[in-house]
Structure 1
Amino acid sequence: MTTRTLPWEPPITEDVEALPIGKWWDAVKAPSNIAERALETLGDKTGAVIQDEHGTLYWLVAVGTATSWQLRQVRVLTEPTDGNTYLGVPPVSWTEGPETHWRVPLTANHYLTDAGKLWGALAEADRAVLGPAPQGRQTCYRCELPTDEPVIVDVQHGGSGAGRTIYACPPHARIYQRDPVAEAAARRGALERGRAR
């Protein structure tokens, strides 16, 4: 078996090194709640993966293979037209946290992840974690700003009429708490109206 050589040199320093995105690879960034599911789905089909100190995972993919993706909370990092974007890349020997490290170690034969397989795993994780994707922009219940990545956090049913769907932007979806008192009152009101008919 012949061992390939990488088209770039991983850091041989004693610290994380900022390397330009879009030169040798693009990066796909996903928060831990989605990334962990995707990583499990990919299994041994994943390439090398970087995990930062916050738990966010970064897959390296071939340049230009993921630029059209639209997945909630997933970001494709590529070279912008007006400058450079960098990714903190740890030394190859860093394979354990809590600092930035290689969650899936980098080797010459274990390098880029196939973008199509990664998209499928991330899309499946997106649906499993965040639920169905609403169409179009929605307004976040908390910040009251429109978001292109709405997450359904609650569906409130009306007594005899239509209910309403409550949306949140990704940061506020994590902190949404249902109001059990209001839900119980709405149910009781619906029952009472049903008996009065």
Structure 2
Amino acid sequence: MGLSALAILGPRCAAAIEDPLASSGVLYFFTPPGTSDTWSVENTRALTPGTTIPVPPARRTEGPGAHWRVCPGEKGWLTDPGALEAAIGDAFGPRVGEERPA
């Protein structure tokens, strides 16, 4: 789901780290401070201040282990949380019996 959301975000995605060894694979997106205070997107977990994650060396773009899926660049580290939430929703698609708004 994380890789699908990353693809949907395309150039709107800032830095992202993939850690395929962490609990069946994890994709970390960086968002502005405070995002975790109101984040309630199904099947995701916002990490709170003080949580540590593996940050790979600057040029590590392949595994094994944690690596950059999107390296921090001129756009910086932070992905817009609204765009990320929408991309995750699109990655999951509509639920059975639920229609997308026109």
Q: Deviations over 1:74-94 (max 9, x none)?
A: 000012xxxx32111111111
1:48 is matched with 15
Any stretches of 5+ residues in structure 1 without a counterpart?
Answer: 1-33, 133-197
Deviation at 1:66, TM superposition (A): 4.0
**TM-score, normalization: structure 1?**
0.43
Provide the secondary structure at the position in 1 that maps to 2:34: coil
Any stretches of 5+ residues in structure 2 without a counterpart?
Answer: 97-102
Q: Which has the higher contact order (CA 8 A, sep 6+)?
A: 2
**TM-score, normalization: structure 2?**
0.78
Any conservation in 2 of the 1:35–1:57 contact (CA below 8 Å)?
yes
1:69 is matched with 39
RMSD: 1.8
Q: Does 1:87 align with 2:53?
A: yes
Q: Does 1:112 align with 2:78?
A: yes
Distance in 2 separating the partners of 1:66 and 1:119: 12
Distance in 2 separating the partners of 1:126 and 1:76: 17
Any conservation in 2 of the 1:63–1:78 contact (CA below 8 Å)?
no
Distance in 2 separating the partners of 1:115 and 1:72: 14
Give the percent of matched residue pairs that are identical in Structure 1 and Structure 2: 38
Q: Structure 1: which 4+ aligned runs deviate by more than 3 Å?
A: none
What number of residue pairs does the alignment pair up? 93
Which of 30, 35, 38 aligns to 2:5? It is 38
AA matched with 2:39: W
Provide the secondary structure at the position in 2 that maps to 1:67: helix
Distance in 2 separating the partners of 1:123 and 1:115: 12
Deviation at 1:108, TM superposition (A): 4.3
Q: Does 1:123 align with 2:93?
A: no
Distance in 2 separating the partners of 1:71 and 1:126: 11
